[in-house]
Amino acid sequence: MRAGHLGVRIASTEAEIDAAQSLRWRVFYEEMRAEPSEAARMSRRDVDAFDAVADHLLVIDHAKGPGPEGVVGTYRLMTQDAAEQIGRFYSDEEYDLSRLIGFQGKLLELGRSCVDAGYRSRAAMQLLWRGIAAYVFRHQIDLMFGCASLPSTDPDQWAAELTYLYNNHLAPPALRPRALADRYVEMRRIDPDELDSRRAMAGLPPLIKGYLRLGCFIGDGAVIDHQFNTTDVAIVVKTDLVTDKYYRHYERQLRDALD
């Protein structure tokens, strides 16, 4: 799929995956000040065991080139079959996913989303969402989930936003991940009567706003990720709830492209 000189597709070579890992390093470690391991510091790459089994969605700036030199955005997509190859999902480190694992349908974990600072425009983000929609359509995914981050390890900085998410978007019990007991952070941090919902919604990071536009639910409990300097929340999206803007609007186009 293309939007001007930007395109979106799945990485097809090791060099393209390496370019995505390099971009993740620049965004997560150089920009957001995550704490790298010694191996990561030496390689200047964000790499983990899940990269080998996942698919890597890329935004490519074709003005820079059609391959790794053009990678300016990425999203990691991991199906349940891929997760079974290494025995778990990434989100298992923070949340009890047993209710999701028991869901009767195909699962997709979303993660490691980032866009180069010079490309954080509506066009780049829309391409990523369109790429995810195409992947969902092609692989007949029923449920998407993952962790979304709020910058800072102090949840009180996000007291209104966390309270808003819990009170307005909590997942139904059958689909509700819960933060692991030893990592659970209460999301209800202020009196709901004092909450300005409009202001709280406006204060959320763009990625979480995007998930909410897709009709996402939120898990129970936040988690502090000290390595990445973030406060994480679990998101869950039933693909039959995805809005027309990001899925059904493209269904015919996607079908034609895949036939």
Q: Which residue has the higher pLDDT, 126 or 21?
A: 21
pTM of the predicted model over 0.85: yes
* The pLDDT of residue 258 is above 80: no
Burial annotation 139-152 (CB, 10 A radius, 16+ → b, else e): eebebbbbbbbbee
Give the CA distances from residue 177 to residues 88, 97, 151, 185, in Å, rounded to whole numbers and listed in that order: 15, 5, 21, 13
Over residues 72-106, the pLDDT tens digits come to 999 999 999 999 999 999 999 999 999 999 998 99
Over residues 111-131, the pLDDT tens digits come to 999 999 999 888 888 899 889
Over residues 152-192, the pLDDT tens digits come to 999 999 999 999 999 999 999 999 999 999 999 999 999 99
Domain 77-258: top CATH class: alpha beta
Domain boundaries in the chain? 77-258
